[in-house]
Structure 1
């Protein structure tokens, strides 16, 4: 098995540091220290912390269980959508609801001072909305979601529901309430 590159180690460390301490609360020294890399080596791989944050956002999104939305082993798209959010809730529970969603955290942390990062995260959100909207369209074709619902709007509402719930979970660390909010919210958005 090949040894992970120093660049990958820095990205992995940044993902954890940004998630746990926020973008503004994380410096390059903390990232390189966590990666076991000399601080100066950071700039051999990234022009800035902002450039690294965009790579981290992409890495985080790539690790999402979003392929569950296309899982042919689950015939009903509505079950794929609800199952997807169940897995996302389990992942949030796996970090004791302490850190929220890294994408949402990055969007908030960078909106004012790092608009390039915030814009990049918004494109990640847009792709996520598109994947959810495709699953909603299939659920409509299968007769499980009313055809009068706008799939793109429902996809955006599902992402916003998730991000709001993840943010509040971070503040209150109440997994039971977060599960109820997300589960009920997803159901209401899909079937009314």
Structure 2
């Protein structure tokens, strides 16, 4: 639990030890990534199923509740990859929402399904390209040397790189949502 930040209700990116054999001298990275939260939700839910520890379910809910405020970009219509950096990668944004769907499967709280749908809809309107593929990423121009940002009038750039991971994760999210919409949450495994 050294990675969990109870003030933010988020998991930090990583921890390293200065003395690896004795696991001492922990150096915790105070960086937070959206998809780590989705993974953490799924891990907490797996532990909950094994241990039936209500604290695990509560932690999964806390993390899920913190995701929108920490990572949602109104400008880019998706989950930012990293806290505080207005940059949405299609694959990581979708991956984050899959954690919300995993929680929906456990407690049938519609807000988790609604958040996942908001992400899928945002990706569909902002990063989906004319050929149906998803752009690798979209970002706000803060550095004029970044690709597409040289023009002073450029505010938001969509990186049109076709990325199979972006396509796969976004399509996986869309399919996962469709499955949940097609049947009541109580009937899901």
Shorter chain as normaliser: what TM range? Answer: 0.3 to 0.5
TM-score, length-normalised on structure 2?
A: 0.33
Pick the structure with more strand per residue: 2
TM-score, length-normalised on structure 1?
A: 0.32
Higher relative contact order by CA 8 Å / sep ≥ 6: 1 or 2? 1
Pick the structure with more helix per residue: 1
